[in-house]
Amino acid sequence: MSVVSYQLEGDIGVISLNNPPVNALSHALRLGIQDAVAQAQNDASLALVLICQGRTFIAGADISEFGKAPMLPSLPGLLDIIEASTKPIIAAIHGTALGGGLETALACHYRCALSSAKVGLPEVKLGLLPGAGGTQRVPRLAGVKAALDLITTGTPITAVNALKIGLIDKVVKGDLLSAALDFAQDIIAQGAVLKRVRDIAVDNEGISADFFAEYRAHLNKRFRQQEAPQRIVECIEAALSQSFDEGLKVERRLFVECMQSTQSAALRHLFFAERMSSKIKGLPKDTQLKDIKRVGIIGGGTMGGGIAMNFVNANIPVTLLEINHEALQRGKDIIAKNYAMTVKKGKLTTELAVERQALITGTTDYNDLADMDLVIEAVFENLAIKKQVFAKLDSVCKPGAILASNTSYQDVNLIAESTSRPQDVIGLHFFSPANVMKLLEIVRGDKTSEQVLATSMAMAKTIKKIPALSRVCYGFIGNRMLRQYAREAQLCLLEGSSPEAIDRVMQNFGMAMGPLAVGDLAGIDIGYKAREGLTDEEKGDVRSYCIADALYEMGRLGQKTGAGYYRYDAETRQRIADPIVLEVIEAQAKKRGVERKAISDETILARLTFALINEGFKILEEGIAQRSSDIDVVYAFGYGFPAFRGGPMFYAETIGLEKVYQTICQFGATYGEDFWQPAALLKQLVAEGKTLSEWSSNS
């Protein structure tokens, strides 16, 4: 069946696209549109309507063509043909018109859309810019400021807002084809004027001499180190100062630069990695799923409350269990506060917030969890307590119910042993704040059933999480690697650096916050209490936590006490370097026999990032993670690793595995092999001259 059909409806030609599931701009689709437009130039039609079948207008490029040799007609070439039509073409939009889809609509002479439709140019999220005239046509219709805001954020806007800024000409109701045909008749009645966007002059009113410099500065703060947003500004500057054709040349040149950049390669890697992470190797595709209609959550604190919100947001009722009514009320108050903030931001109506909270039932009685399909434990990170909870759940929950622990570190196999149904036990590690963070680390116990695994993956999608599968080890994927990152931050402090220097290096790298600022935000007491449950051997070298312990013992717990690695302004919460912390660091260094020396920014960056990378290789060789891209997903979506670096494992590839290996060996000689022992897999790949990508595809 052809993906493009053409037929006359009276004196209007209808070009209908049908390329499921999202009418992506495949070669066949482009060729079909080209042929239909050519056919229409010589028939009885007076105007043309371009419309899509299925659930959406053209939602963007065909990702299966990424990285392949282009086939004619190219998208820019096709849009020239559309715009040059001697008969007006009306794009009729429903669903989403994104990327090349919106660019196709902009090349048409008119655009109408259902009010439910959205339009956008999200290329920047892949480190790209619109490459088929988007940066030249949008400012001609919407103005420079609106174009910059739309294209540099990549966030879609509603049809109503698109109408306000001039991107579409009419919002319609009812049947889209009928409405588009009526709109076409109106255009014919008005003389069938060919409104070509290329012929519109860009309005320079309100664009001061400093406008673009100020906008660039704004982008530098919002999208630190990212190249594509700055190149988009250059394209829109060209739209204002040059002809349409010259502007297209600038756009094409910068698009190619973006496509060939490491940043775009990293973002495209994550795009595919995110889709791959939900696939479990060896799991039959026809594995029957359990039905999750009711969920129980044990623990109504910040984490438990956040987890509850995920389910009620998906219209799944939750029973929230706490130790007493006071604790239960505190938990409900936390949830109410979170919803109030969302309403205040305009992201949710008051009515919907009330409806969602009504789906949460509170209880202090385990028997009220008897009919739950899934129960998630979110109590203190203490193995003995968790085992007690699971033993209780084993006695009250119905057969087949999934019993999940929101543990960050504990052994899921040992937790499962406290039940008579280890096949139903799994780890579901949410990240704080659980109602916001996208990552869900799914921890597979030795006896977890395939059905429970498959159901958990599907459930993650239902509650709009990005899942990544991990086997059991201390800290799983994310926190196991984080320990090494935190270790090097602490050792750099002890050996000569300062909190502000370390945090500055990592922020310049692209992290939202540096490791010491994160420590203050989370609370220095969290790590201290976690270490209390470990043996001296499990804690590791005292040098890797002695500064944190000294600050804890001084009552400096971070932001909550107004002082940690930094002092905090009582009103603004702004962090301020504190000489007292330097005194603590120097005292600990003297106590541990460490001679402090200046450490370069390059060394700080390498020590922190290579510690992550090396541990990632160990996780792969042990089979804790399924694939290297899953590790990248964990760090990009759970730990703030800059997406434009692609995650720690992709970043290692961009540096070169041989350089990573050699540097780790040098660090071993300088700082001690106890901390710096190259992973066997890293050593193997370097010896064989293979990339991590090659290893992953063969493993």
Among 447, 474, 501, identify where a domain stops. 474
In a domain, 33, yes or no: yes
Question: How many CB atoms within 10 Å of residue 573?
Answer: 10
Spatial distance between the Cα atoms of 141 and 628, rounded to a whole number of angstroms: 44
284-324 confidence digits (pLDDT tens): 989 999 999 999 999 998 899 999 999 999 999 999 999 99
Instruction: Evaluate if residue 1 carries a pLDDT over 70.
Output: no
Residues 550, 525 share a domain: yes
Instruction: Specify the pLDDT at position 434.
Output: 92
Residues 6+ apart with CB under 8 A from 186: none
Domain check: are 142 and 217 in the same one? yes
Instruction: Assign 239 to helix, strand or coil.
Output: helix
Give a yes or no: residue 282 inside a domain. Answer: no
Write down the residue that tokens 């010589």 correspond to: 42
Query: Is there a single domain that holds both residue 214 and residue 307?
Result: no
**Which active-site residues does the annotation give?**
103, 123
pLDDT at 148: 97
Task: Confirm whether pTM is higher than 0.95.
Answer: no
67 and 109 together in one domain: yes
The answer to whether residue 182 sits within a structural domain is yes
Q: Which tens digit of pLDDT belongs to each residue from 161-195?
A: 999 999 999 999 999 999 999 999 999 999 999 99
Which of 259, 279, 303 corresponds to the end of one domain? 259
Q: Does residue 638 fall inside a structural domain?
A: no
Strand segments (E) across 118-235: 118-120, 157-158, 170-172
Statement to judge: residues 462 and 514 lie in one domain: no
Name the β-bridge partners of 376: 297, 404
Residues 430, 560: one domain? no
Asked if residue 639 has pLDDT above 90, the reply is yes
Strand 110-114 relative to strand 170-172, pairing? parallel
Of 203, 236, 259, which closes a domain? 259
Cis peptide before 579 (omega within 30 of 0): no
Calculate what percentage of the chain has a pLDDT beyond 90: 89
Collapsing DSSP to helix, strand or coil, 344 comes out as helix
CATH code, domain carrying 427 = 3.40.50.720
CA distance 423 to 444: 10
pLDDT one-digit tens code per residue, 536-561:
888 889 999 999 999 999 999 999 99
pLDDT at 485: 97
In a domain? residue 642: no
48: left (phi over 0), alpha (psi -120 to 50) or beta: beta
Residue pair 647/629 in contact (Cβ under 8 Å)? The answer is: yes
Together in a domain, 541 and 606 = yes
What does the block give as tokens for 464? 């709009």
pLDDT above 70 coverage of the chain, percent: 100
- Could you tell me if 392 and 367 lie in one domain? yes
- Per-residue pLDDT at 65 exceeds 80: no
Mark whether 312 and 242 lie in a shared domain. Answer: no
Residues 549, 461 within the same domain: no
What is the distance, to the nearest Å, from the Cα of residue 195 to the centroid of all Cα atoms in its chain?
39
Does 143 reside within a domain? Answer: yes
Structural domain including 597 reads 479-623+656-698
pLDDT of residue 62: 79
Same-domain pairing of 421 and 554:
no
pLDDT(160) > 70: yes
Residue 122: pLDDT above 90? Answer: yes
292 DSSP 8-state letter? -
- Same domain assignment for residues 213 and 320: no
Helix, strand, coil % (nearest 5) of the chain? Answer: 55, 10, 35
In a domain, 285, yes or no: no
Tally of structural domains, the chain: 3
DSSP 353-422: HHHHHTTEEEES-GGGGTT-SEEEE---S-HHHHHHHHHHHHHHSPTT-EEEE--SSS-HHHHHHTSS-G
Asked whether residue 678 is assigned to any structural domain, the reply reads yes
Provide the CATH number for the domain around residue 85.
3.90.226.10
Where helices occur in 440-574 by DSSP H, the ranges are: 450-462, 478-495, 499-509, 515-522, 524-532, 536-539, 546-553
Please compute the mean of the pLDDT values over residues 82-101 and round it to a whole number: 97
